[in-house]
Homo-oligomer: A and B are copies of this chain.
């Protein structure tokens, strides 16, 4: 399957992955959420080549996930900020974080955590919530195909 067929899929998961389904993009978005905005700071944080970073940032700007503010003539001084569409990826980054916390560290191994800035307390695990506010288990939900309504 080519990227184009992912983009034209009726499935929102496939469409999202067509846009942001590579880990450089998601790590750039993670850093932008954490307040990184300068080309050079992304480069240092990610240990990524200038060329790869330029290409990924360009794609994220063309997808309107990031917006670019040029500062002078040197690309190393450009600033990048999340658009509203980009900020909405917070939940994707958060879900990756919570799964990683649960499954990608050995017992006792340290990792960063996400806290409520006001209280310093860890935020809750994400839940699937029905319209009436009940929590649902994954097996209690189902996909309704596009034509089924």
In angstroms, Cα B101 to Cα A115, docked, is 27
| Choice from B1, B5, B123, B149 contacting A130 with Cβ under 8 Å | B123
CB nearest to A115 among chain B residues: B144
Point out which of A85, A115, A118, A141 has the most chain B C-beta atoms below 10 A from its C-beta: A141
Contacts of A123 in B (CB 8 A): 128-131, 136, 141
- Counting chain B CB atoms within 10 Å of each CB, the highest count among A16, A88, A119 belongs to A16
Cβ–Cβ contact B136 & A130, under 8 A: no
Binds B, one of A54-62, A70-78, A90-98: A90-98
Chain B residues near A115 (CB-CB < 8 A): 141-144
Alpha-carbon distance between A46 and B138 when the two chains are bound, in angstroms: 22
A49 (CB) vs chain B CBs: closest residue: B1
Q: Point out residues on A near B: beta carbons under 8 Å.
A: 1, 5-7, 10-19, 21-23, 26-27, 30, 33-34, 46-48, 85, 87-105, 110-124, 126-133, 136, 138, 140-147, 149
Report the 5 A-B pairs with minimum CB-CB distance, sorted nearest first. Answer: A12-B100, A15-B104, A21-B23, A16-B100, A17-B23
21 contacts across the A-B interface (CB closer than 8 A)? A11-B111, A12-B98, A12-B100, A12-B112, A13-B27, A15-B100, A16-B96, A17-B26, A17-B96, A18-B104, A89-B99, A91-B128, A111-B146, A114-B141, A115-B142, A116-B136, A116-B140, A119-B131, A123-B131, A124-B129, A124-B130
